[in-house]
Amino acid sequence: MTAQRETYLEKVRSIRNQMLAVLDGMDYCLDWKPDAASWSVREVVYHLVDTPDGGLHTLISGILSGQTREFDLTPDLNHMNPERQTFDMSQVRRDIAQVLDGLEAAVSAADDEALTTVTVLAHRKARGVDEECTPQILLEGLFARHWQGHGDQLRELRETLGI
């Protein structure tokens, strides 16, 4: 197994464990918010699951297969809909697992060269900028930093609730 690929696979597994652990015991408070401007656990989760649209697993897989040449990235969307409002914690966990399983599969099938050289054009809507990204850039930023940052947000919600 190549070094870069192994690093990203370890990161996916680590973030999976962190995300699932932080959700333990939060079944009853999926929609609780400390104030009107904050996001609930459910909103944070579905923001991660569908950023970018369709999920990061779909994007990385598409980039590595050559099927995806460009994508839109719109920040700060919680991707909530009436159906997701009815999901219990088991479904929320399955949705997280689907993204992370798909991401792990996509990275497992790649080699270091593809992770660091294949490019996609990202249309960063909030900035009004288009830029080329590699899977490596997306795995470090849109995945690792983004998911860890929201993991911290979920931990803060836990602490506020006294869980």
Domain count, the chain: 1
Give the model confidence (pLDDT) of 81-97 as tens digits.
999 999 999 999 999 99
Say yes or no to pLDDT of 124 above 70: yes
Prediction pTM value: 0.95
pLDDT value at residue 55: 97
DSSP assigned state of 157: H
69 is in which domain, residue-wise?
A: 3-161
Determine if the peptide bond prior to 52 is cis (ω within 30°): yes
CATH number at 51 reads 1.20.120.450
The 10s digit of each residue's pLDDT in 34-66 is 999 999 999 999 999 999 999 999 999 999 999
Summary mean pLDDT of the chain: 96
pLDDT of residue 2: 67
| Mean of pLDDT values over 139-148 | 97
Q: What angle do CA 33, 16, 83 make, to 5 degrees?
A: 50
